[in-house]
Chains A and B, each alone.
Chain A
């Protein structure tokens, strides 16, 4: 008798295998773009050549070494972390708020970060030199990170009563807080000079051009810790899709899930925005693209979002540094240029549901 493998019984609608396949495929894609990113740049330094020289123990020109080790490598790693953060945070927020258009912006993270950045660019000169000297030119990222956390803590405090966080309150309070922050930011911008205004514009468009090991070493622990916490949320977010009450009935610890989701998202996006400025649409585009293919199961959605987010941002960064070389197009322009139409398409294809 020959043993016959039992025929595979896949429940209708089960897309588990797609999630697994996507994970593998995206990992390969990420590696491909990572290598491309190390090899491509306006200076034309050849990565294989430099690597071959290193391995053979030959001397590498200082410029080539700086390009590979101090420009392209920290830039690649920063791009991967920022892209993964933005995409996973978007996916978590959409799950938590049960709203396809949610992104970390709802937590006041982006507006808090931009207020921090605006204040430090315009008012940084007023700080006593002793304090300004501690941060040096890292004042802007530090202030952006502080701003994002203060905004998030305030919002979380407003929305939490008797140990229960209301996501609806958080959503509305987030809008109110964003309006107040925009007013304060506008007031500061009024007092900005010409050069500061230009700095603000470029900060708002986002860029990975300022990546350095120092910045990366400050942001990476926060981002990695936050990213590591997010897979723990997968089952909780799946449960929350049924509604809070039902989720509690099937054994999900709802408040714990919410707290981790909010803290981890604020940590990851706060640190990302601080190092790279405002990069839009990755958090919306990436999770939706994946949901279309692999379905809404957060067990696969979160990890795949991280992989695709990292890949997308690295790809956008390659475009940003090559398209107008030797100058550079801010990466936020590229992500929004592709993300904007996609977002529009999401809106239009959801119109039947939204209009109902």
Chain B
């Protein structure tokens, strides 16, 4: 008796949703850090009533109820915030939860997850369309395009420097980003080259491979609240003990990055989130890699 409903729900979820518009939605649940960020950038913060645990920017979203991790949502938890529209990044789930939400008759708009600048513009427009405010996308998209234009101008005749993104340093083992990762995309967007080539995803790297990759800069996510990092900006000069320790690691110590002490730390969502601040983040990363120009 329930099977047809599930199949129907599955089809609805599986197909790229025809963008529907919900200008009257007053209680919007945004799922996915960049989706929440875009909704805020579009000036729709009064309509957003809850978020998932990956949504941490702008800092004020932390005051909203948190329905859990984007891929492990609980159906009753989502229903308990009483949304009249769910704006979810692709990959939100589990599918059982999404099926139950469909049955409860709550409209769900899926926003594609992207990792390049062209699709990012489409993503911002998709959020604006879903919220029924297509006109608001303009300024955000223009700001993004202005940053990207500045970037391509700056990078036009530049030798590409090699950047090593380190996801974690747990126990002295370097977990670096290969191809197909957000880190790879933002490094390329910033006009640099990923030092790690021929590896897919985030993978542990041997010390020798890091030495051989010879990165000119090392990029990490900083810990601590997002609000702090955005005001402080990336730090290229190592004052802290953590940076000294990193530079003295056998794998790192012989690299050009160690010679110039180029360690860049940026907030995770800002750097890898592919949201409205991505142009700004790429520009900031570019300036940190090549020195403010």
A interface list, Cβ under 8 A from B: 41-44, 62-63, 66-67, 70-72, 136-137, 190-195, 198-199, 202, 207, 209-215, 321, 324-328, 330
* Chain B residues with CB under 8 A of A44: 80
* Chain B residues with CB under 8 A of A212: 2, 6, 96, 99-100
Bound form: Cα–Cα A191–B91 in Å: 19
B17 within 8 A of A: no
Contact A326 B69 (CB under 8 A): no
Contact of A43 among B50, B69, B76 (CB under 8 A): B76
Bound form: Cα–Cα A336–B103 in Å: 33
B71 within 8 A of A: yes
Contact of A67 among B10, B76, B81 (CB under 8 A): B76
Contact of A326 among B80, B94, B95, B103 (CB under 8 A): B80
Nearest Cβ distance between residue A74 and chain B, in whole angstroms? Answer: 9
Nearest Cβ distance between residue A276 and chain B, in whole angstroms? Answer: 12
* Chain A residues with CB under 8 A of B81: 326
Nearest Cβ distance between residue A344 and chain B, in whole angstroms? Answer: 26
Nearest Cβ distance between residue B86 and chain A, in whole angstroms? Answer: 13
Bound form: Cα–Cα A181–B180 in Å: 29
Contact A42 B76 (CB under 8 A): yes
Name which of B60-68, B128-136, B153-161, B220-228 contacts chain A.
B60-68
Contact A66 B97 (CB under 8 A): no
Contact A328 B77 (CB under 8 A): yes
Q: List the 9 closest pairs (A to B, CB-CB), nearest first.
A: A327-B68, A326-B77, A43-B80, A42-B80, A328-B74, A137-B95, A210-B96, A66-B104, A209-B74
Contacts A66-B100, A214-B2 supplied; 13 other A-B pairs, CB < 8 Å? A42-B74, A66-B79, A67-B79, A67-B104, A71-B76, A190-B203, A198-B69, A207-B74, A210-B94, A321-B76, A326-B77, A327-B77, A328-B74
Contact A202 B74 (CB under 8 A): no
* Chain B residues with CB under 8 A of A199: 71
Contact of A328 among B68, B82, B202 (CB under 8 A): B68
B53 within 8 A of A: yes
Bound form: Cα–Cα A195–B89 in Å: 13
Bound form: Cα–Cα A321–B22 in Å: 30
Bound form: Cα–Cα A276–B68 in Å: 18
Bound form: Cα–Cα A42–B77 in Å: 6
* Chain B residues with CB under 8 A of A63: 79, 104-106
Known: A198-B69, A214-B3. A41 touches B96 (CB 8 A): no
Contact B103 A66 (CB under 8 A): yes
Some 29 contacts from A to B, beta carbons below 8 A apart, are A41-B76, A42-B74, A42-B76, A42-B77, A43-B80, A62-B105, A66-B104, A67-B76, A137-B94, A190-B203, A192-B201, A194-B181, A195-B91, A198-B71, A198-B72, A199-B71, A202-B69, A209-B72, A209-B94, A211-B96, A213-B2, A214-B2, A326-B66, A326-B80, A326-B81, A327-B68, A327-B74, A328-B68, A328-B72
* Chain A residues with CB under 8 A of B203: 190
B interface list, Cβ under 8 A from A: 1-3, 6, 10, 50, 53, 65-69, 71-82, 91, 94-97, 99-100, 103-106, 180-181, 200-203
Contact A71 B100 (CB under 8 A): yes
Nearest Cβ distance between residue B85 and chain A, in whole angstroms? Answer: 14
Known: A198-B69, A326-B67. A72 touches B103 (CB 8 A): no
Contact A327 B69 (CB under 8 A): yes
* Chain B residues with CB under 8 A of A209: 72-75, 94, 96-97
Bound form: Cα–Cα A214–B77 in Å: 21
* Chain A residues with CB under 8 A of B6: 212, 214
Nearest Cβ distance between residue A136 and chain B, in whole angstroms? Answer: 6
Bound form: Cα–Cα A195–B201 in Å: 11
* Chain A residues with CB under 8 A of B95: 136-137
Known: A136-B10, A214-B2, A321-B74. A326 touches B96 (CB 8 A): no
Contact of B78 among A70, A214, A324, A326 (CB under 8 A): A326
Bound form: Cα–Cα A132–B99 in Å: 18
Closest to A210 in B: B96
* Chain A residues with CB under 8 A of B1: 213
* Chain B residues with CB under 8 A of A136: 10, 95
